[in-house]
Amino acid sequence: MDFTKTNRLLWVVLAAIILLIAAVAVADRVIHANAAIPAPGSAAEPATQTDVKTGTRIGFAAPDFTLPTTDDKEFKLSDYRGKNVILNFWATWCGPCRYEIPAFKEIHNKYNGGSIVVVAVSCLDNPDSTAKYASANGMDFLIPLDPRGAVSDLYNIRGMPTTYFINDKGVITSIKIGPFINIDEIEDRLDSFK
């Protein structure tokens, strides 16, 4: 193979990679866009859980689950109907998950006792390690334990951290895969609850 053919082949491969990256970026934008907002003056009421199918996509009712927590209680998602829930899937061994914890602590402290609840499901992690880590890092929000990954499978978690925003009617309004950098990034997603 001569130099010109090799050059052409490299340009074709580079173009294909660029197109693939662009396609993934567009797909990510479409999949993770906020739920549709009714047009101004629209008489449409927000969906309730009984109006929509259960699933793990925006506009679907969030699947219910029950798990034990680090403080030896039981967490059931449906018990938090009437509250907006930030449902985060994380693990102590996940570097990006640890990076976003300060932002979730700020959100919890800012809205604690209000209409927003922070829930951080510890996935595929040792419950004792999770409890020690949470205590050492002042994580005083709800931490359900999913050591076998049953709930993370139910929510189709393929990368951590992953965060679901679930409105007071139990409907998923936004999804974020990857870490939040700061509280402002999380608060931008709170608009999806409206």
Residues 10-55: pLDDT tens digits? 777 767 777 666 555 555 544 444 333 333 333 334 444 456 799 9
Residue predicted with more confidence, 34 or 130: 130
Residue 117 near residue 109 (C-beta atoms within 8 A): no
pLDDT of residue 172: 97
The per-residue pLDDT for 21 is: 66
Would you state the pLDDT for residue 45?
43
For tokens 């209000």, name the residue. 114
pLDDT attached to residue 141: 96
Q: What is the DSSP letter of 72?
A: S
- Cα 133 to Cα 91, 122, 154, distances in angstroms: 10, 11, 25
Q: DSSP class of residue 137?
A: T
Before 63, cis peptide (omega within 30)? no
Which pLDDT tens digit goes with each residue over 145-190? 999 999 999 999 999 999 999 999 999 999 999 999 999 999 999 9
pLDDT score of 5: 72
Calculate the alpha carbon distances from 106 to 52, 60, 109, 118, 192 in Å. 32, 28, 5, 10, 19
58-108 pLDDT, tens digit per residue, is 999 999 999 999 999 999 999 999 999 999 999 999 999 999 999 999 999
Report pLDDT for 32: 45
Give the helix, strand, coil percentages of the chain, each rounded to 5. 40, 20, 40
